[in-house]
Amino acid sequence: MPSVTASTGTIPAEEDESLVRPSSDPALAGHLELRAAIPSPLSKLENLPVEIVDEILSYLIHPRSRLPGLTEAQSAHKVPKELRRSIKNQEDLLQPPDMDRWAADIFSLHLLSHPFNALALTSKRCNELVQHYASHLVRSCNATMFNLPFARLDKYGPRCVYPDLSAIVYRRLWLQHAPRKCIYCHVVLECYPFSLVKRVLTTCEDCFYCSTMTVDEVQAQYHLSPATVLASHHIRRGAGSRWLLRVDVEALAWQLYRTRAFHNAHKEQFGKPCSLCAITTFRPEDVKRSNLKRQMAKKRSTRRVRA
C-alpha cells in the first residue's frame, strides 16, 4: 500500500517562476509549456468527483502492508501457512532482505499516521473529502455502533437536531470505533468495544513472530553473539524486549556472509565448523534450546504485543 504524504500541492517559488518566464530555447519553452499544463498530483485528487475520491478512500479504511518476501495477497491470513512457507522457502537468500515496505518496522507502528489523518492534514479540501467519506461510514454503521439522530436530521433539518451533527469530526469518530485489523495479514483482531487492542494500526501475533527474532535465535541461526547484535545501531528492536526486527538481522547477516541462509540449517554440519562463517562448532542440542527459548519468549511477550 502506498504511503500518504503531506503536501501542499503548490509549486515551489523558483519552479513557478521558471514556468512563466519566456525561454529563448524553443524546445525548452515547449517542454515548460507542457509541464505547466500538467496539474500537480494532489490538485488532481482534490478535483476528482467526490464519488471517485470516496472509492479511493475506501481502500484506505484499513491500510495494508505485506510480510517480507510476500505480496499483499500472499500475506493474507486466508492463505494457508504451508503455502506461505513454501513461497518463502523459494526465496533467493543471496539477495538482500525485503526492506522497502510501508510499515516494515513492526516496533514503530504506533508512530504511523492512519491515511485518513495524514490526508486530512494536507489541505482544507482533502480534510473536507475525508470528513465527507467518514460521515458516510458512520451513517452506514449508525444502527449498530453510533445511534446518532440522522433520520431526524434528514426529515426536519439541522435546527431540529441536538447535538449539532455538523460539529462532529466523523474521521475521528470512525477511527475510534473502526474494527482493528492486522496491517500485514488483514485478520480482524477486535471489534468495538475493545478490550485489549486499542491502536488503529496494529498487528496480530502470527505476523509479529514472522517479523522478529530473539537474540538467542540470532546467535543460533547466524552465529552472531548477543553483544554484537545488541550493540548494532542497524538492528531495530522492541523497547526493553529481546525481540529484534528480522529483516535488520538478515541485512546484517547478508552484509557479513553475502547470504541470509541460516547457519545451522543442515544436519550434516552438526559437530563440524560452520561452513558459512567457519568459526563456530555447534551441536544439535543448540537448535532445540533455541526453539525452547523462542516458545518461552512468545509466552512472555503475548500481552505486550496485543496491548
Q: Least distance to Zn ion from the beta carbon of 99, Å?
A: 19
Q: List all residues 6 or more positions away from 242 whose beta carbon is below 8 Å from its beta carbon.
A: 214, 215, 216, 297
d(C-alpha 82, C-alpha 15), whole Å: 53
Amino acid sitting at position 254: W
What is the closest distance, in whole angstroms, from the C-beta atom of residue 224 to Zn ion in the complex? 9
Q: What count of other Cβ atoms lies within 10 Å of the Cβ of residue 210?
A: 21
CB of 280 to Zn ion, least distance (A): 5
For residues 35 and 81, which CB has a smaller minimum distance to Zn ion in the complex? 81
Q: Rounded to the nearest whole angstrom, what is the least distance from the CB of residue 276 to Zn ion in the complex?
A: 5
C-beta closer to Zn ion: residue 170 or 184: 184
Q: Using DSSP, state whether 285 is helix, strand or coil.
A: helix
CB nearer to Zn ion: give 103 or 182: 182
Angle subtended by helix axes 215-222 and 246-257, to nearest 10: 30
CA atoms of 105 and 124, how far apart (whole Å): 31
Q: Which is nearer to Zn ion, 21 or 272 (CB)?
A: 272
Q: Tell how far CA 167 is from the center of its chain.
A: 31
Q: Report the distance separating Cα 295 and Cα 277, nearest Å.
A: 27
The CB-of-168 to Zn ion minimum distance in angstroms stands at 32
- Residues in contact with Zn ion by the rule CB under 5 A: 182, 184-185, 204, 207, 223, 263, 274, 276-277, 280
